[in-house]
Amino acid sequence: MLIDHPEVGREMFAMEGTYSTHEGAGEIFTDLAGDMDKYATDYARIADPAWKMEFTAEAGETKRAGSVKA
């Protein structure tokens, strides 16, 4: 989630009561937010087609562990 949907991580980090577990951990949501967004966009070009091919079934089929089961 932090790599492919960094906006969700930022939203969670902004929630009341959340805190960084160590010094500098929050930078992924603040200082590095732009870099994370660019990486997520670049990653999606690879991951989205692979996800669709491996885990999206045709009508009437189910996929489990990357293989088609009829």
Is it the case that residue 70 has pLDDT exceeding 80? no
On whether residue 1 sits in a domain, the answer given is no
Residue 12 is given by DSSP the state H
Counting Cβ atoms within 10 Å, is residue 6 exposed (0-12), middle (13-18) or buried (19+)? buried
| Tens digits of residue pLDDT in 52-65 | 888 876 655 655 55
Here the tokens at position 53 are 């091919």
**What is the pLDDT, as a whole number, of residue 65?**
56
H/E run at residue 22: none
Counting Cβ atoms within 10 Å, is residue 29 exposed (0-12), middle (13-18) or buried (19+)? buried
Q: How many domains does the chain have?
A: 1
* Range of the structural domain that residue 38 is part of: 6-69
On whether residue 44 sits in a domain, the answer given is yes
| Tens digits of residue pLDDT in 8-48 | 999 999 999 998 899 999 999 999 999 999 999 999 999 99
